[in-house]
Amino acid sequence: MASLYEVLGISVGASCVEIKAAYRKLARTYHPDVVGMNQKEKSANQFMMIHSAYSTLSDPEKRAQYDREIYRHRRSGNMVSMSARNQTFSYAASGRKWETDQCW
Amino acid sequence: MVEPAYTVTSDSETTGEEKSTTFPEIAIGIDIGTSQCSVAVWNGSQVELLKNTRNQKIMKSYVTFKDNIPSGGVSSQLSHEDEMFSGAAIFNMKRLIGRVDTDPVVHACKNLPFLVQTLDIGVRPLIAPLVNNMWRSTTPEEVLAIFLVELRAMAEAQLKRRIRNVVLTVPVSFSRFQLTRIERACAMAGLHVLRLMPEPTAVALLYGQQQQQTSHENMGSGSEKIALIFNMGAGYCDVAVTATAGGVSQIKALAGSTIGGEDLLQNMMQHLLPDSQNLFKNHGIKEIKQMGLLRIATQDAIHRLSSQSCTQVDVDLGDGLKICKVVDREVFEQVNRKVFEKCESLIIQCLQDAKLEVEDLDDVIIVGGCSYIPRVKNLVNNICKGKKIYEGMNPLEAAVCGAAVEGAVASGINDPFGNLDLLTIQATPLAIGIRADGNNFVPVIPRDTTMPARKELVFTTVHDNQTEALILVYEGEGKKAEENHLLGYFKIMGIPAAPKGVPEINVCMDIDAANVLRVLAIVLMPGSREPAIPVMEVRMPTVDDDHGWCAQALNRTYGASLDLLTLRKKA
């Protein structure tokens, strides 16, 4: 699974302007309003993930906290839980595909 | 002229999507205002406003009922003002649509020169024009549909093609019920709603387009621009904060309220004739004529006060009732103090929600019919610390132009110059949540959440061995559950017996790209990752109208036995 930086396709040291630019660029590709009728649901999931990464990284406080967590987890070798997992919903029983497709 | 046909097509006929042409049909933009309306379309290179046979771009939103033929302000040759005296004209539909008879807005409409009858129990009000001395019932949706049929005929005659797809602008404060009613009216008029856009977000899209055009001219120095949009019409006041760059507009915050020119007018009428409510209570032919006369005289005076500081109201209502008063701006502003204060609080709230200071704003945009009122301009100006008001937008046409641009974008039209390379990322205008922690409204999706959205909160039982729980879904801004719109409800059954506070009831809300709301409830027991019982998924709204009494009935039957408590926010 990808880190929030990987979701936005930016480096860990990206500036605020770079974060915003990356978010906009991805929104133009993945927002449900710009994709075909048959891809709305998948793109909604992708866009929500992009937006969630953006809202964490564009907020200096949240970003600092995220950076601390990612550092701690890297040291403990537990990268998996540091993915954007907290934004996905894996209730298979709902019958809907809630896990975001792994295209990152 | 195209003969308007008032046919009512069923929902199933109009919602089925079939594409017969290879060319994408460009959806038209419609702005149905409380008092005025307009239609615009992307003509291939720019937005064009459509005109009626009398060469008007802005038409009055009303329908008159005479004998068996209703006719609206689009085609009607007769003056709206004369017909208002007869009780046959219905207007202010946008204020009445999707509201129940306990709503204060509906009560304020009782002063209009047609019949608005309430029983004050939370059902739909009875609305009727006076036709041949007979009150003939109608509904806001029907009136709106008649009007939309005329607008459609007008657009079809000019564009020489069939019109099916539309983008409509709506007030920010519209509940989901009101949105469904607007969709219903469109379906009755044979129109398919491609999108319902909160009015200031349509203006934001137009602003985004203008910014992109400017940045193209400057060889693409696409830095982010933040704008505050204040829109006040006859029925509603809306505020939005948008951040735009490179054609992408992100709506950062929205705020709206049912206040507008209509309130200014009613307050002034009350000032000119303090006993008016009592005098007109009977709604007889004589009273309706008097109401109409007073209304028009007051409206004219308010219009004059936009350009002059003082004016005289001189009107003979008959029956020895004459009004001859001088009113100045000071009186007008004093009489409407509360309305203007509300406008101010909306702007302040919107800026706070967007987490921005006035200094962060690049542009301040004022649109809507009330933008001509000096006090309105001043209040925006004062809050925005004298920031220059954005020029380059027609206050009466901005919303419909934005809707037309969205119509072209949503229809998948390409523009060789990149003028349609636009995207508006919308935010939720109202919070959606459930009743929990006693009688509180606990938002699951807060206001101003970027859409599409998915959020969840964990709740738990309040009683030992509680095996059932009631999920009451509300939309709104009130702290108490009943201050909001009840969208629907369902019961969770079969929760495994456990001490109170142990079962985890995960309530997840999902708003998809088409603004469809789904509510899921998942019951988890500690130590297990699998749901204890099948997950429930319910599409909202499940009730037809904003019937507050449903909640009262549920409360009478179940009391607090099926209540929930907030457990924690899921990380």
- Contact between chains at B224 and A20 (C-beta distance less than 8 A): yes
Residue A90 reports pLDDT greater than 70: no
Q: Phi/psi at B146 (nearest 5 deg)?
A: -60, -40
Contact between residue B441 and residue B474 where contact means Cβ atoms under 8 Å apart:
yes
Distance CA A47, CA B453 (A): 9
Place of tokens 């880190």: A3
Rounded to 10°, the helix B374-383/B337-353 angle is 30
Distance of CA B480 to the CA centre of its chain: 22
Average pLDDT over residues A59-63: 93
Instruction: Output the average pLDDT for chain B.
Output: 90
- Contact between chains at A27 and B224 (C-beta distance less than 8 A): no
Looking only at the bridges linking them, the beta strands covering B423-425 and B248-257 are: parallel
Nearest CA in chain B to A23: B248
Note whether A97 contacts B: Cβ–Cβ < 8 A: no
Contact between residue B403 and residue B27 where contact means Cβ atoms under 8 Å apart:
no
Average pLDDT over residues B68-88: 73
Residue B332 reports pLDDT greater than 90: yes
Q: What's B28's DSSP letter?
A: E
User: Which residues in A lie closer than 8 A to residue B522 (C-beta atoms)?
Assistant: 91, 93-94
* Percent of chain A whose pLDDT exceeds 70: 71
The string of pLDDT tens digits covering residues B481-538 is 999 999 999 999 999 999 999 999 999 999 988 899 999 999 999 988 899 999 999 9
Looking only at the bridges linking them, the beta strands covering B69-72 and B62-66 are: antiparallel
List the beta bridge partners of residue B460: B565
List the beta bridge partners of residue B489: B472
10 Å CB burial of residue B156 (0-12, 13-18, 19+) is middle
Q: Answer whether the bond into residue B452 is a cis peptide, omega within 30°.
A: yes
List the beta bridge partners of residue B47: B42
User: Which of B246, B535, B570 shows the shortest C-beta gap to A94?
Assistant: B535
- Contact between chains at B513 and A32 (C-beta distance less than 8 A): yes
- Residue A98 pLDDT class (50, 70, 90 cuts): very low
* pLDDT value for A93: 31
User: Which residues in B lie closer than 8 A to residue A32 (C-beta atoms)?
Assistant: 452, 512-513
The string of pLDDT tens digits covering residues B244-281 is 998 999 999 999 999 999 999 999 999 999 988 888 88
Domain B28-195 has CATH 3.30.420.40: yes
* pLDDT value for B20: 43
10 Å CB burial of residue B370 (0-12, 13-18, 19+) is buried
Which of the pair, B132 or B351, is modelled with greater confidence?
Answer: B351
Nearest CA in chain A to B569: A86
Q: Complex ipTM, two decimals? A: 0.84
10 Å CB burial of residue B19 (0-12, 13-18, 19+) is exposed
Nearest CA in chain A to B421: A28
Q: Which of B368, B429, B404, B427 minimizes the C-alpha distance to B206?
A: B404
Residue B22 reports pLDDT greater than 60: no
pTM value? Answer: 0.90
- Residue B175 pLDDT class (50, 70, 90 cuts): very high
- Contact between chains at A94 and B224 (C-beta distance less than 8 A): no
Handedness of CA B35, B259, B103, B301 (dihedral sign): negative
Residue A1 reports pLDDT greater than 70: no
Contact between residue B487 and residue B473 where contact means Cβ atoms under 8 Å apart:
yes
Distance CA A32, CA A50 (A): 12
- Contact between chains at A48 and B452 (C-beta distance less than 8 A): yes
Place of tokens 């109202």: B430
Size of interface A-B (CB pairs under 8 A): 61
Residue B373 reports pLDDT greater than 90: yes
Interface test with B, best of A91, A97, A98, A99 (most B CBs within 10 A): A91
Residue B11 reports pLDDT greater than 80: no
Residue B5 reports pLDDT greater than 50: no
Give me the residue spans of the domains in chain B.
Answer: 28-195, 431-566
Phi-psi region of B385 (alpha: psi -120 to 50; beta: other; left: phi over 0): left
Distance CA B201, CA B255 (A): 11
Give me the residue spans of the domains in chain A.
Answer: 4-73
> Residue B363, SS3?
strand
* pLDDT value for B79: 61
Q: Please give the helix or strand (H or E) that residue B147 lies within, else none.
A: helix B140-159
Measured in angstroms, the CA of B248 and the nearest CA of chain A are apart by: 7
* pLDDT value for A77: 57
Nearest CA in chain B to A55: B450
- Contact between chains at A33 and B535 (C-beta distance less than 8 A): no
- Contact between chains at A93 and B530 (C-beta distance less than 8 A): yes
Question: Helix/strand/coil (H, E, C) string of B101-138?
Answer: CCCHHHHHHHHCCCEEECCCCCCCCEEECEECCEECCE
Q: A48-62, B5-19, B427-441: which range is least confident on average? A: B5-19
- Contact between chains at B452 and A44 (C-beta distance less than 8 A): yes
Q: What share of chain B is helix, strand, coil (3-state, %, to 5)?
A: 30, 30, 40
Exposure string for B188-201, b = 16+ CB within 10 A, e = fewer: bbbbbbbbbbbbbb
Residue B87 reports pLDDT greater than 70: yes
Which of the pair, B66 or B571, is modelled with greater confidence?
Answer: B66
Q: Order of strands, edge to edge, in the sheet holding B62-66?
A: B69-72, B62-66, B89-91
The string of pLDDT tens digits covering residues B180-214 is 999 999 999 999 999 999 999 999 999 999 998 88
Q: A6-15, A71-80, B276-285: which range is least confident on average? A: A71-80
Nearest CA in chain B to A47: B452
CATH of A4-73, one of 1.10.287.110, 3.40.630.10, 3.40.50.450, 3.40.50.10490: 1.10.287.110
Domain B431-566 has CATH 1.20.1180.10: no
Phi-psi region of B392 (alpha: psi -120 to 50; beta: other; left: phi over 0): left
Distance CA A54, CA A44 (A): 15
